[in-house]
Amino acid sequence: MFNQSLIAKFFICLVSFLLFVFSFKLNELFDGFALYMTGINLVFIPAGFKLLCVLVGGEAAAVGLLLSSVYVSAGIWDHTAIIQMIYFAFASVGSYYITVSVLKKTMHIDDMLSNLRYLHIVVLSAAASIINGILHNIVYVWQDKVKLNDFFAHSTAMIVGDFLGCFIVIVFFNICIDLAFKLFRSKRHAEDRGISFIAHFLNQQHT
């Protein structure tokens, strides 16, 4: 049982790592018109995957996201020490993890996200984006990546990018979940009708 739990957490960690790296590479396609500066994008799809992974995977997903954040940072930050990238990763993932942990309990969202509604999506996306945008840029200022005079503008740009990324990904995921539930219910309904028809037919044969 312990081994199964450990394997499951490792799998969640690995999937979260791969999803974030993949979404980051995908998001680079938008850099031509959406890149604000290194580390800030006006349409940041990875933020949505980060929110989704933390919502579904919890602590195990957070570990994978921390590792992936350091990994992608190594490819975009020049003249930056690994410890600085770790600071950025903890600011990024920590803000989402804390926000999701608090809001899931406050809004009574279950772990399977079956009761996730659009209001929840808006609140989660907005809260995570705002906290991350502020905290992340505090770290940027601390590590001399952003000037104090530019703090507000850079924070706002990151908040906008994260919110759009979160909203796009979570809405798409929610639509997929709704369709899956509808298909499942439709299949069950069709099976129940089929069983009823067969039972009715056999009953007629006996009478």
Q: Say whether pLDDT at 135 is over 80.
A: yes
List, for residues 31-72, the tens digit of each pLDDT value.
888 889 888 999 999 999 999 999 989 999 999 999 999 999
Is the Cα torsion angle 53, 54, 59, 63 positive or negative in sign?
Answer: positive
Q: Say whether pLDDT at 18 is over 80.
A: yes
List, for residues 78-96, the tens digit of each pLDDT value.
889 999 999 999 999 999 9
- Cβ neighbours of residue 118 closer than 8 Å, sequence gap 6 or more: 171, 174
List, for residues 155-179, the tens digit of each pLDDT value.
999 999 999 999 888 888 878 877 8
Query: How far is residue 9's CA from residue 1's CA, in Å, rounded to a whole number?
Result: 12
Which amino acid, 122?
V
The confidence band for 123, taking pLDDT boundaries of 50, 70 and 90, is: very high
Which of 19-23, 48-52, 136-140, 185-189 is least confident? 185-189
The confidence band for 189, taking pLDDT boundaries of 50, 70 and 90, is: low
Place of tokens 């979570």: 170
Nearest CA to 56 out of 48, 45, 44, 66 is that of 48
Domain ranges across the chain: 2-206
